[in-house]
Amino acid sequence: MRNAALMLGVIGGVIGLIVGFFAYGYVELTERFTELGNTVGSVDDPRLWRTVAILSPVLAIAGGAMARARALIGGILMAVSAAGMYHAFGFNVGTMFPIALCGVGAVLAILAGRPDEEKAHF
């Protein structure tokens, strides 16, 4: 389960990097070219979008990388990443894979216990 959480977190983070890159670019374009923002729509909270576009993929990759050694912390980081992407960008065609991958990775990491240790990470 820890290996699956690792892979899901890293893959979700990489896809989240792509989503974050385009979200950050969209915010910059709509702020610099106000006519474009008036035409296609501007973002309500650009600071939130910028912050989540940078932090969520990093948290997902870091959580995935930590899933083998510290599964509980890695799972929490992936859950925060998925919640941040959902809160800022919503659940749509662009964000469904990183949110789902990070969410499933978080659940697997949190529920994982080492079979060679006498107790789980709780």
Q: Tens place of pLDDT for every residue, the chain, 122 residues? A: 899 999 999 999 999 999 999 999 999 999 898 888 888 888 889 999 999 999 999 999 999 999 998 899 999 999 999 999 999 999 999 999 999 999 999 999 999 866 545 555 55
Q: What's the pLDDT score for residue 121?
A: 58
Residue 29 within a domain: yes
- What's the total number of domains in the chain? 1
Q: What's the pLDDT score for residue 102?
A: 97
pTM of the model: 0.88
Question: Domain of 61?
Answer: 2-111
Those residues with Cβ within 8 angstroms of residue 102's Cβ, 6 or more apart along the chain or in another chain: 8, 9, 12, 13, 16, 60, 63, 78, 79, 81, 82, 85
Q: What's the pLDDT score for residue 38?
A: 83
Neighbours of 70 (CB within 10 A): 16
Residue 96 within a domain: yes
Residue 121 within a domain: no
CB 72 within 8 A of CB 59: no
